[in-house]
């Protein structure tokens, strides 16, 4: 029950103030189409430099939690998902709003988000120490395979094409090798002075997530969003509580589906919401009402995409393997404060780890309370013209990446990677595996080298890396994820037509 011991730290004036700031800011950012949770967290990292580690993490964690929930506002009131995680919410949420039940849809969405989110954070609280103990047994070979697993699973499950997903992961792993080699001190792939010290993760993350969005906004030209904000009529919150309790099947399915999906590295929130929506429809006694403004659709989708948040951090906090792009950004936030997550995080930095987790717990409740009150404001912000949003994000990206080390080189790296990523995305490549490759590359290499040294002095490389049940278990998961994705592609269940591809890419952009 360590989490209770550190609960008081969340309520110190600065910590609680940052939690409030992150929650309210995250709700507004989340409601803004085009600002994904990952990008919002990446842009916030430079603002945490001056803060204590736990304060920085509280701000980032609150922003992560509430951007996911805030996306529901624009999904419901504008029919534009604020983030990919809110795609499923649009299906019934906007129809409810169009029928004059906008307030009810928003209330249901935030209440379901809070229930799912709280369950997810409790899972994080109780699962993390257990897994951390287990992770202490991991040696270099296991950590090497785990890093490869992180890149492969995201590469195969998060991308529309297995080969392009894996290729994105390889590009990320290669980018991670640029700079000086840690062991020999040799120069590797230094083709410009800006990368002589290697590629700094924070500017890279800002570039990879922010710049493609800026360019995407520019491609729309001189157009207004065209979306009309539906005005909402008052709806008693008590009735929304009753409705959520009455729809417990959808809530349970959403919460459990989201939690399980969150634990699997690489499977994003949009999948959690859509799978939960689909499963709720199958188990519902009123399945024919789904898509016509049915409350179960909103409850299932929103409880799932917030239930995913807590579990998605389990691999990061226990094994230092980020399970999602946002977790990768949070890892960047930890690293700049000199904290390397892993099995001993809870022994070396218990206050930082538990205060962060506790703040996510309290953040879920704050998100629910504030979400209901600022939904109207958030929807108005969502109508800010693309031109203004693109210019703001570009300015923040430039200043943010410069402030990491006061270096123009970081700004050039940010811009180059961002421009490159935009074009890669247009040709079916994905940022998530590339980011994971960039983050996990040094972990994979360090453990590969360390493992090779141990192997050369003992049993030999093949035996060291390819024997033992844990090595085999991890290798089998890598192979299974690749095989599954290939099978899915062959079975023509993926996005094999241009319309499917366009629909997916438009939804994600």
Partner 1 sequence: MTDLPRNQHIVASGIIAAVGVTVAYISFTQEPADAFIFPRLISSVFAVLAIWTFGKAILGRTKVGNGISGEAMRNMLPGLIVMVVYIFWAAKGLGFYTATTIAFFIMLSLYDPAPHNALKTWAKRIAITAGFMLVMYGLFAQLLNVFTPREVFF
Window 405-424: residues binding partner 1 (CB under 8 A):
406, 408, 411-412, 415, 419, 423-424
Which C-beta is closer to partner 1: that of 192 or that of 248?
A: 192
Among residues 11, 373, 399, 487, the one that binds partner 1 under rule CB under 8 A:
399
Which DSSP letter does residue 100 get? I
Of 232, 287, 298, 367, nearest in space to 86 by CA? 298
User: How many Cβ atoms from other residues are within 10 Å of residue 237's Cβ?
Assistant: 14
Decide: is 438 part of the binding site for partner 1 (CB under 8 A).
no
CB of 103 to partner 1, least distance (A): 30
Among residues 171, 195, 308, 421, the one that binds partner 1 under rule CB under 8 A:
171
Among residues 30, 37, 46, 70, the one that binds partner 1 under rule CB under 8 A:
46
CB of 178 to partner 1, least distance (A): 9
What six digits make up the tokens of 315? 């691999």
Which C-beta is closer to partner 1: that of 239 or that of 408?
A: 408
CB 341 within 8 A of CB 316: yes
User: How many Cβ atoms from other residues are within 10 Å of residue 344's Cβ?
Assistant: 12
Which residues, at least 6 apart from 87, have a Cβ–Cβ distance to it below 8 Å? 75, 81, 270, 273, 274, 507
Decide: is 453 part of the binding site for partner 1 (CB under 8 A).
no
Among residues 236, 395, 460, 480, the one that binds partner 1 under rule CB under 8 A:
395
Of 238, 9, 258, nearest in space to 115 by CA? 258
Stretch that binds partner 1, among 237-245, 342-350, 440-448, 467-475 (CB under 8 A): 440-448
Which C-beta is closer to partner 1: that of 294 or that of 383?
A: 383
The CA distance from 422 to 424, in Å, is 5
Decide: is 381 part of the binding site for partner 1 (CB under 8 A).
no
Among residues 13, 137, 193, 221, the one that binds partner 1 under rule CB under 8 A:
221
Buried b (16+ CB within 10 A) or exposed e, 389-401: bbeebbebbbebb
Among residues 137, 184, 457, 491, the one that binds partner 1 under rule CB under 8 A:
184
Which residues, at least 6 apart from 281, have a Cβ–Cβ distance to it below 8 Å? 287, 290, 296, 297
User: How many Cβ atoms from other residues are within 10 Å of residue 130's Cβ?
Assistant: 11
Which residues, at least 6 apart from 426, have a Cβ–Cβ distance to it below 8 Å? none
Which C-beta is closer to partner 1: that of 258 or that of 268?
A: 268
Residue 179 bridge partners (DSSP): 188
CB of 118 to partner 1, least distance (A): 32
Which C-beta is closer to partner 1: that of 116 or that of 409?
A: 409
Which C-beta is closer to partner 1: that of 68 or that of 208?
A: 208
Among residues 233, 285, 493, 498, the one that binds partner 1 under rule CB under 8 A:
498
């Amino acid at each position: 029950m360590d989490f209770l011991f550190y609960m008081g730290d969340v309520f110190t004036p600065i910590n609680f103030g940052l939690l409030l700031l992150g929650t309210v800011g995250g709700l507004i950012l989340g409601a803004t189409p085009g600002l994904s949770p990952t990008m919002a967290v990446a842009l916030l990292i430079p603002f945490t430099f001056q803060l204590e580690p736990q304060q920085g993490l509280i701000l980032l964690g609150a922003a992560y939690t509430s951007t996911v929930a805030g996306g529901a506002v624009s999904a419901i009131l504008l029919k534009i998902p604020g983030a990919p995680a809110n795609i499923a919410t649009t299906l019934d949420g906007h129809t409810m709003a169009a029928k004059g039940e906008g307030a009810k849809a928003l209330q249901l969405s935030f209440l379901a988000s809070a229930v799912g989110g709280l369950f997810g954070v409790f899972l994080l609280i109780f699962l993390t120490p257990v897994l951390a103990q287990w992770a202490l047994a991991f040696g270099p070979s296991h950590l090497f395979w785990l890093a490869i697993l992180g890149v492969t699973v995201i590469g195969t499950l998060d991308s529309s094409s297995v080969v392009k997903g894996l290729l994105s992961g390889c590009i990320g792993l290669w980018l991670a090798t640029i700079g000086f080699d840690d062991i020999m001190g040799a120069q590797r792939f230094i083709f410009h002075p800006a990368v002589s010290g290697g590629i700094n993760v924070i500017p890279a993350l800002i570039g990879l997530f922010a710049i493609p969005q800026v360019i995407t906004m520019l491609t729309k030209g001189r157009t207004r969003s065209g979306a009309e904000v539906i005005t909402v009529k008052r709806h008693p919150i008590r009735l929304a509580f009753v409705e959520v309790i009455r729809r417990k099947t959808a809530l349970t399915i959403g919460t459990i589906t989201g939690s399980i999906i969150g634990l699997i590295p690489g499977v994003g929130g949009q999948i959690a919401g859509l799978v939960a929506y689909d499963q709720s429809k199958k188990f519902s006694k009123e399945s024919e009402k789904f898509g016509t403004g049915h409350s179960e659709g909103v409850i299932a989708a929103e409880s799932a995409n917030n239930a995913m948040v807590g579990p998605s951090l389990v691999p990061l906090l226990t094994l230092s393997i980020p399970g999602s792009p946002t977790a990768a950004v949070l890892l960047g936030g930890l690293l700049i404060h000199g904290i390397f997550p892993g099995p001993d995080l809870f022994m070396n930095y218990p206050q930082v780890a538990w205060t962060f987790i506790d703040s996510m717990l309290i953040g879920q409740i704050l998100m629910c309370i504030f979400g209901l009150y600022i939904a109207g404001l958030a929807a108005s912000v969502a109508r800010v013209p693309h031109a203004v949003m693109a210019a703001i994000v570009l300015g923040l990206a430039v200043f943010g990446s410069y402030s990491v080390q006061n270096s123009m080189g970081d700004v050039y790296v940010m811009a180059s990677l961002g421009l490159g990523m935009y074009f890669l995305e247009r040709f079916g490549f994905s940022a998530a595996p590339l980011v994971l490759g960039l983050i996990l590359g040094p972990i994979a290499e360090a453990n590969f080298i360390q493992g090779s040294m141990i192997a050369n002095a003992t049993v030999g490389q093949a035996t060291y890396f390819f024997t033992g049940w844990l090595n085999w278990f991890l290798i089998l998961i890598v192979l299974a994820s690749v095989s599954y994705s290939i099978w899915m592609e062959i079975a023509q269940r993926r996005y094999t037509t241009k319309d499917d591809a366009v629909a997916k890419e438009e939804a994600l952009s």
